[in-house]
Amino acid sequence: MDNETSARTTADTTLQTNIDTELSRATAAESTLQTNLTNEASIRATTDSTFQTNIESESTARINAVNTVQTNLNTEAASRVSGDKKQCFMSIMEAEGILVSNTFPFCAGMGAPSSSNCGLPVPFDSKLVGISLAISSNSNNIDSSVSFTIEHYKTDGSKSAPFPSEPSFTLSNISINKQFNDITPNGSYNAGNYLIKCTNATNLTDSLTRFRVALYFQSTTELI
């Protein structure tokens, strides 16, 4: 009887020890699990915050990019509208015969030659952007040449200052050279008259020589 009691007591003690050990292990395991869960929650919260920040940054960047594109489109549209309003046009002036130096032989209308302050009238600010000259002549004189200068006079009759110099061109040996073209972008002139002055005429012998000049202008103010 005493042996059985002792054995049961020992067994109960062992069982209690095992229970205590298991409880301690389980408590430690649950504590570790809770710590891991807490750490994981913290990591996920940090990751979610970073992810949200990245989403917001990307959203802001895209909005800014779209706004920049729209601004550029608006600027380009405004520039095109302004450019379209600054139109280019061409006018022809003609002369014929044996030209004389320091005269204004070209006509811009019904055949009346120009004179100082009476040439091709342009009623708005403009600039000369191109010149084209064609000559018809039966002259065989290889020493022939002719030089021209483009002058501008304001509506009050005063001569405009050149930008930076008055456009000028020379055609030598007009028995062979019958065409002249040049791009001459100049500064803007006020409303007024453009004139072609013959600054030099050398060895011109054909009285039937014809000169035709096309002047290309661009308005520097909006017309519409």
Question: pLDDT tens digit string along 23-62?
Answer: 888 888 888 888 888 888 888 888 888 888 889 889 989 9
Cβ(127)–Cβ(152) below 8 Å: no
Residue 18, amino acid: N
**C-alpha 109, offset from chain centre:** 38
Taking every pair of C-alpha atoms in the chain, what is the biggest distance, in angstroms? 160
Please name the CATH architecture into which domain 87-219 falls: Sandwich (2.60)
CA distance 114 to 111: 9
- Helices H / strands E in the chain, number of each: 1, 8
User: Domain ranges in the chain?
Assistant: 1-85, 87-219
Query: Is-above-0.85 flag for pTM?
Result: no
Residues contacting residue 8 through CB under 8 Å, at least 6 positions apart: none
With 80 as the cut, is the pLDDT of residue 98 above it? yes
Residue 197: what pLDDT? 93
pLDDT tier at 143, thresholds 50, 70, 90? confident
pLDDT confidence of residue 1: 63
By mean pLDDT, which of 84-88, 131-135, 190-194 is the weakest?
84-88
User: Using an 8 Å Cβ cutoff, are 201 and 99 in contact?
Assistant: yes
